[in-house]
Amino acid sequence: MFHSLNLSDFFSYFQLIELILLLTIINMLHIFVDGDNIPIEAYFNFIKEKLENDFGKDYKLSFYCQTNLIFKYQPDRAENMNIICSKISKKNSCDARILFEVGKLITEDINNKVVIVSNDKIYEEIEDNQRIFTMGYDTTKVKKIKITKQNILNMFTTLMDSKDNSEDVFCEDFREYFKCSSTSEFKTFISKNLPNLMISGNDVVYIKKNS
């Protein structure tokens, strides 16, 4: 048996669809994470909860990077995110890509809003707290040590001792212990000052064996 729709029913249905579309447009919030400055695990451990308290849970999450990102295994873990690599891996390429994408996003639609997650002060230049916001996290909560050759070697030994034989040590494993602004900065210091400490293509740190 069919139920016929009168004109008023049709307009009520149309208005409902229009309202749903309007709400979808209003909630076009994008989260851009500076992956060279904020490790993935730091975002989920220290930032995500505060961000969702401030901006809600309806957003599109994107990580931007110019080097490898480390996503650690956890039982039954599921995260919905995009990962965007810069065209080149040179210094500040990630910053340039984020600034470009923010500009494009803001000019495409007046309803778009973006939160840039980074401790890099450069993004404060475009922050207006209306459509463009910034958020970082307090790195002083964890006491960090200065980047020196001996400190890195000591930490490498400590990290190796704390892992199983089958586990590797990655560059990002060092980040929470050292005063450095990015993974790229840390890698550059190692390559220039520690010739016996090698970094593989996927950012595994290891000791060079003497031939």
Across residues 123-134, what is the average pLDDT?
95
Across residues 185-197, what is the average pLDDT?
89
Which of 36-45, 162-171, 180-189 has maximum average pLDDT?
36-45
Q: Residues 202, 118: one domain?
A: no
Domain boundary pick from 137, 169, 184: 137
Which pLDDT value is given to residue 211? 54
How confident is the model over 84-118, as pLDDT tens digits? 999 988 888 999 999 999 999 999 999 999 999 99
Identify whether 142 is part of a domain.
no
How confident is the model over 40-84, as pLDDT tens digits? 888 998 899 999 999 999 999 999 998 888 788 888 888 999 999
Q: Residues 27, 73: one domain?
A: yes
Domain boundary pick from 104, 137, 170: 137
Domain boundary pick from 137, 161, 177: 137
CATH number for the domain that contains residue 65: 3.40.50
Give residues with Cβ within 8 angstroms of 175, minimum separation 6: 39, 42, 183, 186
Which pLDDT value is given to residue 51? 94
Which of residues 22 and 209 earns the better pLDDT score?
A: 209
Q: Residues 17, 70: one domain?
A: yes
Identify whether 173 is part of a domain.
yes
Identify whether 1 is part of a domain.
no
Q: Residues 195, 122: one domain?
A: no
Which pLDDT value is given to residue 25? 45
Looking at the structure of the chain, the number of domains it has is 2
Check whether 21 has a pLDDT greater than 60: no
Q: Residues 122, 153: one domain?
A: no
Q: Which domain holds residue 172?
A: 149-207
Radius of gyration of the chain (CA): 22
Which pLDDT value is given to residue 140? 59
Give residues with Cβ within 8 angstroms of 147, minimum separation 6: 178, 179, 180, 186, 189
Q: Residues 64, 117: one domain?
A: yes
Per the confidence metrics, is the pTM higher than 0.85? no
Q: Residues 32, 131: one domain?
A: yes
State the Cα–Cα distance between residues 57 and 95, nearest whole angstrom. 25
